Amino acid sequence: MRFITIRLKYAVMAFALIALITVGAFTASAAGAAEVYWTGARSLPIYNVERSDNKISISFDCAWGVDYTDEILSHLAEAKVHATFFTVQFWTEKYPEYIKKISDAGHEIGTHSATHSYMSKQSETEIRSELKTSSEAITNITGKPVELFRPPYGDYDNLLIDTANAVGIYPIQWDVDSLDWKDLSAADIVSRIVERVQSGSIILCHNNGLHTAEALPIIIDTLRAKGFEFVPIGQLIYRENYTIDPTGKQIPQGAA
């Protein structure tokens, strides 16, 4: 009965939120693979993806602590949602049991660097080293290759993006920021996310956000009710023959 009551509570809250958003909704735009073509002078990570099928991704950056990680994983399992986790090397090495737990649950793991530094200040040699050692730390536990990279602080320059692409790792940003690291309330986190998501969106959350786990079931239920489907980022992006426009949107070649 407790399980049914909890799910009913989330369903009611999600329905109420949809009604509220419908009244005052707005759509916010988001400010290596073979044959990638850049449309601007600046090299960009992937902020979101041009898709018409309502597929979206939710991601969690892991650098500090694990206090709410089990609750997040429980909610994801209950909802049958697979997410993408970006882990810093020192977090990976401190919590190998969580790396295994995340991977065994079917979630995708990308690197969030080795040291969580501002990598735009690093040399190519330093960047390659961070990507290599942080990826190896994950692979040594999961047995799976690392294909995605999120720069710490969202900080990057051409050298960082070009180097990641050169070593075969897709640099990933986001177009929907939960701001959960600011300890926003669960209601504020939900509102920020569901009002901004569009087909192809990448949502940024953190595994140790104070109210992230609390907000997660409402986010999932609300977005599903609006017709969105959650997939890991690796299934959202295109692997070849794409462009990245000046806003960071990944667009398949030949798309109108």
How many domains in the chain?
1
pLDDT tier at 130, thresholds 50, 70, 90: very high
CA pair distance 147, 141, nearest whole angstrom: 15
Environment class of residue 126 by beta-carbon count within 10 Å: exposed (0-12), middle (13-18) or buried (19+)?
Answer: middle
Question: Is the separation of the CB atoms in 232 and 57 below 8 Å?
Answer: yes
pLDDT one-digit tens code per residue, 65-101: 999 999 999 999 999 999 999 999 999 999 999 999 9
pTM, entire model:
0.85
| Residues facing 55 on adjacent strands | 229
pLDDT tier at 255, thresholds 50, 70, 90: low
CA pair distance 64, 87, nearest whole angstrom: 10
pLDDT one-digit tens code per residue, 152-181: 999 999 999 999 999 999 999 999 999 999
Say what the pLDDT of residue 8 is: 45
- Cα 243 from chain centroid (whole Å): 20
Question: Is the separation of the CB atoms in 170 and 148 below 8 Å?
Answer: yes
Q: Which residue range(s) make up the domain with 47?
A: 2-25+34-252
CATH number of the domain where residue 132 is located: 3.20.20.370
Say what the pLDDT of residue 24 is: 39
β-pair type (242-244, 249-252):
antiparallel
Segments of the chain assigned E as strands: 36-38, 48-49, 55-62, 84-87, 108-111, 148-149, 170-171, 176-177, 202-206, 229-230, 242-244, 249-252
